[in-house]
């Protein structure tokens, strides 16, 4: 009878965890955290507005970069309310349904970013393999359809996840181990079998990030093969130099992701602090570092930043 009463019970809210052991320093950590979000939102906003306004950037490579910036902006916005709530106001509660919504959008934008990185890898393959046909292969129509496929895949793959969580009973602990809601974290608090959730989660990861990472590896294997066939050393370096920004973006996204996955699977003995820091790095590093990388490599974006800041400086001096 007790089990039957609990079978459909769910907490009204979950309690989020900031960074274990550093609770007394939240006040001082609030300002750097706020600066991180400002950099992420401002940097990605500059990239989007620059690509929109600069006709010279109306190319497939930069359209994909705009998609990447939109995905990074979405990731930052998803985690910002709960993160700032904890570190600025010490507010750790999140309603059950709000947690599911946040979880859905975090995983959706993460899947979108992974898909965009694959599209950018394919863009580099075409640019190096068939440079003279680049514009005829990657037309605006192809870019739009690619973006639609990436978005549709992410929405459809992640869509069942909140409903799989919703069906589970929760009547014991309601304390999550991160500053935001992730599928594995919420699932671990369930008081029933989570085999279906685990199986679907594994399938979703393989279908998105697993296949995406393999596609990127194969793309760069083909790129290296093509570059090695170029006669001149300068030509080889010039071709590889066009891939530097994308390689950085791939590493920025996948290194924290692999770290979180390894720690979750094999690091049960590690402190909660390590788990929290890796999870925060996984979601905060890409939105912050990607704009910095592409700003350094794209003169039009650097010029846009100068136009934003120099007039303010001149006005202040006047």
**H or E segment and range at residue 15:** strand 13-15
From CA 303, how far away is CA 118, in angstroms rounded?
28
Q: Are 67 and 150 in contact (CB under 8 A)?
A: yes
315: pLDDT confidence band, cut at 50, 70 and 90? Answer: very low
pLDDT in tens, 19-67: 887 777 777 888 888 999 999 999 999 999 999 999 989 999 999 999 9
- CA pair distance 165, 108, nearest whole angstrom: 16
Q: Which range (60-69, 117-126, 219-228, 293-302) has the least confidence?
A: 293-302
Query: For residue 6, what pLDDT is reported?
Result: 47
pLDDT in tens, 157-201: 999 999 999 989 988 889 998 899 999 889 989 988 899 999 999
Q: What's CA 159's distance to the chain center, in Å? A: 17
Express each pLDDT in 249-262 by its tens digit: 999 999 999 888 88
* Amino acid 311: pLDDT: 61
Q: Which residue has the tokens 């979880």?
A: 103
Residue 9 confidence class, pLDDT cut points 50, 70, 90: low
* Spatial CA neighbour of 176 closest among 283, 73, 78, 279: 279
Is the pLDDT at 14 greater than 70, yes or no? yes
The separation between CA 282 and the C-alpha centre of its own chain, rounded to angstroms, equals 8
Nearest residue to 99 (alpha-carbon basis) of 180, 174, 39: 180
pLDDT tens track for 205-232: 999 999 999 999 999 999 999 999 887 8
Structure tokens at 18: 């900031």
Q: Which helix (H) or strand (E) holds 92?
A: none
Q: What is the pTM of this model?
A: 0.91
The answer to whether 165 and 177 have CB atoms below 8 angstroms apart is no
Cα distances (angstroms) measured from residue 240 to each of 61, 156, 313: 15, 35, 37
């Amino acid at each position: 009878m007790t089990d039957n009463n609990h079978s459909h019970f769910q907490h009204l809210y979950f309690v989020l965890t900031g960074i274990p052991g550093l609770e007394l320093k939240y006040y001082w950590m609030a300002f750097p955290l706020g600066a991180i979000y400002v950099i992420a939102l401002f940097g990605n906003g500059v990239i989007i507005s620059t690509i929109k306004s600069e006709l010279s950037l109306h190319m497939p490579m930069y359209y994909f970069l705009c998609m990447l910036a939109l995905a990074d902006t979405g990731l930052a916005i998803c985690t910002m309310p709960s993160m700032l709530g904890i570190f600025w106001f010490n507010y750790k509660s999140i309603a059950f349904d709000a947690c599911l919504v946040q979880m859905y959008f975090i995983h959706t934008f993460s899947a979108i970013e992974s898909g965009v990185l694959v599209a950018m890898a394919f863009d580099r393959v075409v640019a190096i393999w068939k440079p003279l046909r680049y514009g005829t292969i990657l037309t605006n129509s192809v870019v739009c359809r690619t973006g639609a496929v990436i978005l549709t895949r992410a929405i459809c793959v992640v869509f069942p996840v909140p409903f799989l969580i919703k069906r589970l009973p929760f009547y014991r602990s309601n304390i999550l181990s991160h500053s935001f809601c992730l599928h594995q974290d919420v699932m671990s608090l369930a008081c029933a079998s989570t085999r279906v959730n685990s199986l679907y989660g594994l399938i979703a990861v393989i279908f998105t990030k697993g296949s995406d990472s393999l596609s990127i590896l194969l793309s760069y294997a083909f790129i290296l093969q093509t570059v090695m066939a170029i006669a001149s050393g300068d030509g080889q370096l010039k071709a590889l130099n066009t891939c530097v920004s994308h390689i950085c973006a791939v590493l920025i996204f996948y290194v924290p992701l692999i770290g979180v996955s390894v720690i979750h699977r094999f690091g049960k003995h590690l402190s909660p602090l390590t788990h929290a820091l890796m999870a925060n790095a996984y979601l905060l590093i890409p939105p912050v570092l990607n704009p910095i990388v592409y700003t350094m490599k794209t003169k039009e974006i650097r010029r846009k930043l100068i136009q934003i800041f120099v007039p303010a400086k001149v006005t202040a001096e006047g």
